[in-house]
Every structure is written in structure tokens, then in C-alpha cells.
Amino acid sequence: MIGKMRDVLDCHRRAFPFAHRRVGKDEGEAIWYVNNRATLKATAAQTGGVFGLVEMLVAPNHPIPLHIHHAEDEAFWVLEGQLTVQAGDSTYSAGP
């Protein structure tokens, strides 16, 4: 039974290499642009191309320029402040 469990866990680790990655609060490569900080927590290279995670610290009145993702989905978790995003012709606001 224990051998079978090890096989299942090994298979899981190979299929989801990022599942066992822990990145602390102050860890990750920080990139600054437009007075905003993006900290890379998980990259496509680290996850086999299936996932990316970026922590954003966005300064007031320094919005991220409008851009388009052709092959990726984007999700947001707002911890403080207010976030306004545009998707096509629709605008959405979110906060904690």
C-alpha cells in the first residue's frame, strides 16, 4: 500500500511541478514599471507552462497600461484599495 501511495505522489509531482513550491512574502524577482512593482511568484518556466502568479503593488494614479492577453486568462485578488479593469467594452471594479 505504501509503495502505491509513493507512486501516486511521484506521478502528481511530475504532473504538477508547482504544487509543492512555497514562495514567501518577500521572495520572488521584483520588476518595477510605471511606479508599480510586480513580484514573480511562479513563472511558466517553473510550472511547465501551465500557470503563472504575480503579486502586484500598484501605486495610486499609476494604472497598468491597457493590454491584451491572447492565450492567457487573468484573475485578481484585491487585498486593499480599489481595482478597475476593462474587458472588451465592459468595465469592472473590485475591492477587498
pLDDT the model gives residue 6: 66
pLDDT of residue 1: 59
Please give the distance of CA 6 from its chain centroid, rounded to a whole number: 29
pTM summary value: 0.68
Q: What percent of the chain has pLDDT over 90?
A: 20
Query: What is the C-alpha to C-alpha distance for residues 79 and 89, in angstroms, rounded to an integer?
Result: 26
**Distance set, CA 35 to CA 1, 10, 22, 64 (Å):** 54, 42, 27, 10
Determine the pLDDT at residue 71.
81
Task: Please say whether the beta carbons of 28 and 40 come within 8 A.
Answer: yes
Question: Taking 80 as the threshold, does the pLDDT of residue 84 lie above it?
Answer: yes
Closest CA to 58 of 41, 82, 27: 82
Please, which residues have CB within 8 angstroms of residue 8's CB and are 6 or more apart in sequence? none
Encode pLDDT of 25-57 as tens digits.
889 999 998 889 999 988 888 877 878 889 999
